Amino acid sequence: MGWRRTVSAGTRREGLNSDKTQGQNSSCRQHCTPASALNSLETQPLSFIPEKAESRSFLKAAAACVRAPQPASWELSWMIARRMSSQDLSISAKLINGGIAGLVGVTCVFPIDLAKTRLQNQQGKDVYKGMTDCLMKTARAEGFLGMYRGAAVNLTLVTPEKAIKLAANDFLRQLLMQDGTQRNLKMEMLAGCGAGICQVVITCPMEMLKIQLQDAGRLAVCHQASASATPTSRPYSTGSTSTHRPPSATLIARELLRTQGISGLYRGLGATLLRDIPFSIIYFPLFANLNQLGVSELTGKASFTHSFVAGCVAGSVAAVAVTPLDVLKTRIQTLKKGLGEDTYSGVMDCARKLWTQEGAAAFMKGAGCRALVIAPLFGIAQGVYFIGIGERILKCFE
């Protein structure tokens, strides 16, 4: 223990007010912990201590580091832990915001989405003259709840779908853009592209099931209007006991998995990607730039009203722009067809038949409905997202 007495004697001789020693003490506090400094001093051999005064000053600084009650490295570790915790909280909040926004949005606009699907699937003689006519006939024939046929599927899967879409876009924007405050159109479009790809994992099977349920009422009307309809045109008949039973998502999913495997639920995956990727490429950059116009200098974020309007405008523009691709996707994913209606083997076959038999106007069927569905849906989504409901919910559990 003689080397410790050497350190103590050197400390008394040099004085505690030496500027040089204080600088070394400060440096050591920034790079040492008490445990590491103590271990370093105690494990060195006696030959470690040279006779020069500057070496004794170094040892004095190390001893001061050992006496430090709360070194800077501890504070740094605490700050890093807090930041990591904050990032985890942010991701969870984004997922909650996306889920809440999806639930609220779908509940508000689902009847319009049902009208869109039925209008897009019409071939030959039109059963419905427009959105209003479709909703009125649906309400008379199937009741009010008939306008929400297929909503259970959406309400179940829209939470992960919207959460993945919004969280993926936000994550990719932070990853691709060096400074989140700078506008970079190419990186924003690339982030939107990635978000569109990520969401298809949920979107494709969700819409596959939803479309069958939504179109079942139209097929029933077509069957009743044609006395010569064959049994194969009946929607999802599995026997005499279920001829008049409305289809269910569980029945359809079970039948698809039994006959086609998991690929049956992902029918129309290519068409879904062709629709969702361009939509996200248009929507997210457009919304980000429109929303930036309303950012307050005091709060650093846009108001709810501005975010809602920006989401509505960006959503309606993107929705109308990709309507032709949505028509192709709807036609391809519809399993049961009415009497005399075409079937399709792929995107190109569907586009060719649609062009030759129904004309260019058929590619814009349901465009108005899509704008009315997507505009409030994404307006609500971005409004909830920027209000930070998820953050407030998580704070209640802290």
Q: Is 98 exposed, middle or buried (0-12, 13-18, 19+ CB in 10 A)?
A: buried
- In angstroms, the CA 119 to CA 309 distance is 27
Enter the DSSP assignment of 129.
S
Q: How far is CA 283 from CA 107, 188, 375, in A?
A: 22, 10, 11
DSSP labels, 179-209: STTS--HHHHHHHHHHHHHHHHHHHHHHHHH
Residue found under tokens 């505009």: 375
pLDDT at residue 225, as a whole number: 65
pLDDT at res. 44: 46
- Position 182 scores a pLDDT of 59
The 10 Å CB-count burial string (b at 16+, else e) for 170-190 is bbbbeeebeeeeeebeebbbb
**Closest by alpha carbon to 168, among 150, 148, 188, 195?**
195
What number of CA atoms fall less than 13 Å from residue 147's CA on the CB side? Answer: 21
Cα separation, 394 vs 398, in Å, equals: 7
Q: pTM score, two decimals?
A: 0.69
User: Could you tell me the domains of the chain?
Assistant: 2-73 (no CATH), 92-396 (1.50.40.10)
How far apart (Å, rounded) are the C-alpha atoms in residues 265 and 169?
25
Decide if 253 contacts 372 (C-beta within 8 A).
Answer: no
According to the model, what pLDDT value does residue 369 have? Answer: 93
3-class DSSP state for residue 105?
Answer: helix
Q: In residues, how long is the chain?
A: 398
| DSSP, res 46 | G
Cβ pair 373, 112 in contact under 8 A: yes
Dihedrals phi, psi of 302, to nearest 5 degrees: -80, 160
275-294 burial: b if 16+ Cβ within 10 Å, else e: bbbbbbbbbbbbbbebbeee
What integer pLDDT is reported at residue 189 of this predicted model? 86
Phi, psi of 230 (to 5 degrees): -85, 160
Phi-psi sector, 236: left (phi>0), alpha (psi -120 to 50), beta: left
- Closest by CA to 33, choosing from 75, 76, 74, 81, is 74
Beta-carbon contacts of residue 119 (< 8 Å; ≥ 6 apart)? 128, 130, 131, 134, 365, 366, 369
Is residue 97 within 8 A of residue 388, CB to CB? The reply is yes
Q: Cβ(344)–Cβ(90) under 8 Å?
A: no
Distance CA(258)–CA(248), nearest Å, equals 16
Instruction: Give the angle 129-134-139 at the CA atoms, nearest 5°.
Output: 150
What's the CA gap between 376 and 384, in Å, rounded?
12
The whole-number pLDDT of residue 264 equals 92
Give me the average pLDDT of each 10-residue run along the chain (398 residues).
45 46 47 46 42 46 47 42 46 77 85 94 85 93 90 86 80 75 76 89 92 90 63 44 64 93 93 92 89 84 84 92 96 88 91 93 93 85 76 82
Amino acid code (one letter) for 97 = N
Burial class of 300 by CB neighbour count within 10 A (0 to 12, 13 to 18, 19+):
exposed
Distance CA 326, CA 324 (A): 5
Dihedral angle at the C-alpha atoms of 208, 211, 217, 221, nearest 10 degrees? Answer: -100
